[in-house]
Structure 1
Amino acid sequence: MNATASLALRTKLTPTTPVLRAATAALWRPEGLRQRYVRYLAAMHPLVRASVPLLLRGAERCAERDDPASRRLAAYYVRHAEEERDHDAWLLDDLAAAGAGPAAVPHPAAVELAGAQYYRIEHEDPASLLGYIAVLEGNAPGPRLADRLAEVTGLPGGAFRTLREHAELDGGHLDDLHRVLDALAPTPARQTAVSVSALHTANLLTRLFLSLAADPGGHP
């Protein structure tokens, strides 16, 4: 077991933390928050909708490699896909409770986030998806965020299920990912693939949040 693999990933991501926190703070500032929160839900829906297909495709590509580490990773992806199933429906319910619906055109940054992972799965190393998951799970909403947003926006409680559920679930999911990564004992090349994917994901997620925070339409 390579007990330092998850630590190495966290160390690589450390410089991205203050940048992402600043983008998140801008996203959740009180001014105009009601409309911005609805845009956030609409932007996140296509991203979350892509999660299960990405995980299952990652599992398929791992299975094709037919080595013990890849088989273990395939099993993790299948298990995590079941954990993520129907979360896109939560977002649709949140949008409906807020009096809105899904975006007619997906946010470009959301498309880039998911699309980059398809490329890495198909043409690089399917383990790269671990870096993507680490960033998304590692930047989960805080436990009090949903209550604060409900108070500021005046939206009904039913508009915040996704935030509430992920605030509770994602910490455990991240711990599970770190255990899986350490158990894989990744080669230097595989560790690099995971780290590069994570850094790219952090950059794109920051761009998404800043775009939603800055522009009334939510697009760059």
Structure 2
Amino acid sequence: MSPSAVASLRGQLALVQPVLYAATARMWRSDAGLPDRYRRYLRAMHQVIRASVPLMERAAGRCEALPSDPVAEPLARYLRAHAEEERGHDDWLLADAAAIGTAPAELTDGVPPPHLAALVGAQYYWVEHSHPVALLGYIAVLEGNAPAPGLAGRLARLTGLPDEAFETVRLHADLDDGHSADLDLLLDRLPLDAAQRSLVAVSALHTVASLAELFDRITAAPTEWESPDD
């Protein structure tokens, strides 16, 4: 008997997630550059998270245009519900940034760098030109790599920044484990064919690689993070 969709996806991710874990560890290492890295992290994650609800809503709309697809209806229901759960999370990041004196425009304005656009933009392409189920691979990685419990307090101690600057990290550490469990149940209930399972896996693997690159660029000098030529 072939493995379940969840078992197959988790097995594939297990091969590549050490790359993401290493990039995360480098980003959060304790040194004098950590406060500036955290500021860059807020900016980057705002640009990622502000796309979450529109992306899920677009994917749900694409599902609703596929009435004969047995995956489409339950996937659309999940995406609509999850979009409501995620609504406003980008505002949490604006509040975190404000707690350290960063103006909202520093997060909301400007052109996102190409590597960040590639992380999120690939999902729009697959939703529009392949199948909206691709988005489940992206969600699986983002919610399966939630901040560790206690990270917010550790970062506050190490950076000397106010506790209220770490609410998004704290809240996602609490919420995302439950979201991952919901997604696992959905993946094993959906009647995915071989091509759809492959698409979910490709999306997830791309997300791991792109997120690791993003974290490494946050860790690097600001000029590397912002360069439009990279």
Aligned to 1:35: 36
Aligned to 2:180: 174
Correspondent of 1:184 among 171, 180, 190: 190
TM-score normalised by structure 2 residue count: 0.92
Given that 2:133 and 2:199 are in contact with CA atoms closer than 8 Å, whether structure 1 keeps it comes out as yes
Aligned to 2:85: 83
Given that 2:134 and 2:203 are in contact with CA atoms closer than 8 Å, whether structure 1 keeps it comes out as yes
Query: Superposition pairs for residues 1-220 of structure 1, below 5 Å?
Result: 4-31=4-31, 32-66=33-67, 67-101=69-103, 102-103=106-107, 104-217=110-223, 218-219=225-226
CA separation in 2, counterparts of 1:166 and 1:80? Answer: 14
Given that 2:96 and 2:166 are in contact with CA atoms closer than 8 Å, whether structure 1 keeps it comes out as yes
Please list the CA deviations of residues 135-159 of structure 1 after superposition, one character each: whole Å capped at 9, or x if unmatched: 1001110011000000011111110
CA separation in 2, counterparts of 1:213 and 1:108? Answer: 17
Q: Larger deviation: 111-120 or 128-137?
A: 111-120
SS at match of 1:68: coil
Q: Larger deviation: 63-72 or 160-169?
A: 63-72
Deviation at 1:70, TM superposition (A): 0.8
Aligned length: 219
CA separation in 2, counterparts of 1:192 and 1:59? Answer: 20
CA separation in 1, counterparts of 2:208 and 2:155? Answer: 23
Residue identity matched to 1:12 = Q
Write out the 4+ residue segments of structure 1 that deviate beyond 4 Å after TM superposition: none
Residue identity matched to 1:133 = I
Structure 2 gap segments, 5+ residues each: none
Deviation at 1:173, TM superposition (A): 0.4
Please list the CA deviations of residues 81-130 of structure 1 after superposition, one character each: whole Å capped at 9, or x if unmatched: 00000000000001111111334332432211111100000001100000
Q: Larger deviation: 106-115 or 195-204?
A: 106-115
Given that 1:98 and 1:159 are in contact with CA atoms closer than 8 Å, whether structure 2 keeps it comes out as yes
TM-score normalised by structure 1 residue count: 0.96
Given that 2:70 and 2:191 are in contact with CA atoms closer than 8 Å, whether structure 1 keeps it comes out as no
Superposed CA RMSD in Å reads 1.3
Residue identity matched to 2:25 = A
Deviation at 1:46, TM superposition (A): 1.1
Q: Larger deviation: 100-109 or 181-190?
A: 100-109
Compare relative contact order (CA 8 Å, sep 6+) and give the higher one, 1 or 2: 1
Residue identity matched to 1:88 = D
Structure 1 gap segments, 5+ residues each: none
SS at match of 1:105: coil
Please list the CA deviations of residues 33-84 of structure 1 after superposition, one character each: whole Å capped at 9, or x if unmatched: 0011011000110110000000000001111111332100000000000000
Please list the CA deviations of residues 9-41 of structure 1 after superposition, one character each: whole Å capped at 9, or x if unmatched: 101111111111100000001121001101100
Q: Aligned residues: percent identity?
A: 53
Relative to 1, partners in 2 of residues 1:159 and 1:92: Cα closer, same or farther, differing over 3 Å?
A: same
Residue identity matched to 1:17 = Q
SS at match of 1:65: coil
